[in-house]
Structures are given as structure tokens and as C-alpha cells.
Amino acid sequence: MIRRSTLPRRIADSLFKITSAVSSSLGLLIMIIIVSTILYYGASMLSIEFLTSPSKPYGEAGAGIANAILGTLLITFGAALIALPPAMAAGIYLAEYGRDSKLASILRFTGNVLMGIPSVVVGIFVYALVVVTFGRFSGFAGSVALAFLMFPVVMRTTEDMLRMVNDSLRESVLALGETRSRGTLKVIFRAARGGILTGVLLALARVSGETAPLLFTALFADSWPTSYFSGPTASLPVLITDYTMNSPFEAMHRAGWGAAFVIAAIILAVNLVSRYYAEKEKL
């Protein structure tokens, strides 16, 4: 006789299924609420003028956010230039050379700690390190702060992605008479590049929305970001904070929403691009 599944078991099973389904749709729901709110308040702001004019002092007409968009791009890419080479080199060391060595485990631990440090603390630190030293706020100081946030993430991604490459590939490069370093760069790194690129883009997207570190470093300016190395530089997150928190003007609140919409769109685009690359590299 075939035993039948009991009723309590079936009920428990479907309860579990329903709970997990509801929970996962909760995540989707939150996403939808955020995006639709930003769309509702921000989309109406979008105009050529808004996207191409620089911001202006409180209350002046014809203001835009173009300087903040450019500033965010500058600061973020500056951070990437500073952080990527050493972070990738560190990731290569961890995956290819250090592996189980003492130094590697210290480095890994340090990376984890660094990842957990609140970004506002990094902001204060870079304020003391760069802003005070050079005697001025600057976009560059903002880049340094974001670079500190990027470094551990990129190091970790690089290590993880390289580790996913099978050792047999390492062996077969070496077996051809290739050196370890060139084999790593020309073959192993190449095998992992899709994952690494994805990680880098996600890290970029993440730090481009950071506000706290920039308040202490890049600050803000109602001008085009021409003095990246020498003066305050506008950015979208700081513009949003400033306009929505510090301004009494309804028009600026709405401009803040518009900027929120723009930065969300940029980050979404970066996410989609990184997904595209991840899929393409999978083969």
C-alpha cells in the first residue's frame, strides 16, 4: 500500500511556501514603492534646463543640477582611479600568492573591518587627512573618501572571482612555460574579468550615492566643477540632502526630488550594464 502524505504535513508545507513567497515579494514591493515615489515627485522636474543648468543660490530661478551630475561623475571616477589599481592588486595577491598565508588573513580581516566602518567616519578621517592638510575642501578629497569605501569591496570581489577560476587553468598556463605573473594577468584575470567588472561597477554605483563622506570633503558649490583639486565640488547626494533638508523653498524640495530621480536612474543603469556584462561573460 502506498502511504499518503498527511494533511498536517501538507498544510505545513504550503504555509512555508506561502511565507517565503510573501517575504520575497516584500523586497520587490519596497523597491516598487521607492521607485514610484521618486518617479511621482521627481519625474515632473525633468527638463532640458534642469539637466543642463548648474544649481543656483536658494530661491533663484532657472536652477538645474548639471554641475552636481558632473561633480558626482568626477568624484566617483576619481575614486575609481585611486582605489582600483591597489584594490585589484591586493585581490590578486590574496587569490594567487597569499592564499593561506598569515599576511593574507590579516589583510582579509582588515578589509572586512574597513567594509564595516560607517561612511561618516571615513568622511571625518579624510577631512583630517586631506582637507585639513591642504587647507581646503575639494572634489579630490571626496574621491579619496569614496576610494576608502571602494577599496575593500573591490579587493574582496577580485579575490573571490579569481578564486572561482579552476586551478587546472592555472596549471595549464604554467605548464606552457608561462610565468606566474604574466599567466595571471593574461589568462586567469581574463577568465574572471566578467565577475570583477560587475563587482567594480556595483561598488561604483554604491559609493556614487554616498552622502556623509562628501559632506566633510567635497562639500558643495553652486558652480561648475572646475576646481576639482582646489575647491568645493557639487555632487548629487549632497545636493539632495541640502535641498530637501536645509531649504525652506518648495521649488528646491522638488529639485531635490528631481535629483533623486536622476541619481536613481544612473545607478539603475550601471546595475543593468553590469548585469549585461556578467551574462555575456558567462557563456
Partner 1 sequence: MKLNRKYKIRTDNLSFWYGERQALFNNSLDIEANKITAIIGPSGCGKSTHLRVYNRIFELYRGQKAEGKILLDGENILDEDVDLLDLRRRIGMIFQKPTPFPMSVFDNVAYPLKLHYKLKGSELEARVEAALKGASLWDEVKDSLGKNGLALSGGQQQRLSIARAIAAEPEVLLMDEPTSAIDPIATAKIEELMDSLRERFTIVIVTHNMQQAARISDTTAFFYRGRIVEVGDTKDFFNNPKDPLTQDYLSVKFKK
What are the distances in angstroms from CA 270 to CA 54, 135, 202, 266?
Answer: 24, 34, 7, 6
Q: Which is nearer to partner 1, 60 or 171 (CB)?
A: 171
**Which range, of 27-35, 129-137, 163-171, 208-216, touches partner 1 by CB under 8 A?**
163-171
Q: Does position 178 bind partner 1 by CB under 8 A?
A: yes
Confirm or reject binding of residue 187 to partner 1 (CB under 8 A): yes
Smallest distance, partner 1 to C-beta of residue 169, A: 5
- The distance of closest approach from Cβ of residue 165 to partner 1 in the complex, given in angstroms and rounded to an integer, is 9
Least CB distance from residue 80 to partner 1, whole Å? 24
Which is closer to partner 1, CB of 54 or CB of 98? 98
Q: Cell 569591496 maps to which residue?
A: 153
- State which residue, 191 or 267, has the beta carbon closest to partner 1: 191
Q: Which residue in 111, 123, 170, 240 binds partner 1 (CB under 8 A)?
A: 170
Choose the stretch contacting partner 1; rule: CB under 8 A; options: 42-50, 70-78, 118-126, 174-182: 174-182
Question: Minimum distance from CB of 131 to partner 1 (Å)?
Answer: 44
- 107: Cα within 13 Å, side-chain hemisphere: 22
| Residue selected from 5, 6, 23, 168 as contacting partner 1 according to rule CB under 8 A | 168
Residue 177 binds partner 1, judged by CB under 8 A: yes
Where does residue 94 rank: exposed (0-12), middle (13-18), buried (19+ CB within 10 A)?
buried
Is 149 in contact with 122 (CB distance < 8 Å)? yes
What is the x/- site pattern for partner 1, positions 122-161, by CB under 8 A? ----------------------------------------
Residues 86-105 vs partner 1: string with x where CB under 8 A? -------------xx-----
Of 81 and 174, nearer to partner 1 (C-beta) is: 174
Pairwise CA distance, residues 208 & 204, whole Å: 6
Compare residues 160 and 178 and give the one whose CB is closer to partner 1: 178
| Cβ-based nearer residue to partner 1, 9 or 99 | 99
250 part of the interface to partner 1, by CB under 8 A: no
In angstroms, what is the minimal distance from the CB of 210 to partner 1?
34
The set of cell numbers assigned to 77 is 571616477
Contact footprint for partner 1 (CB under 8 A): 99-100, 166-179, 187, 190-191, 283
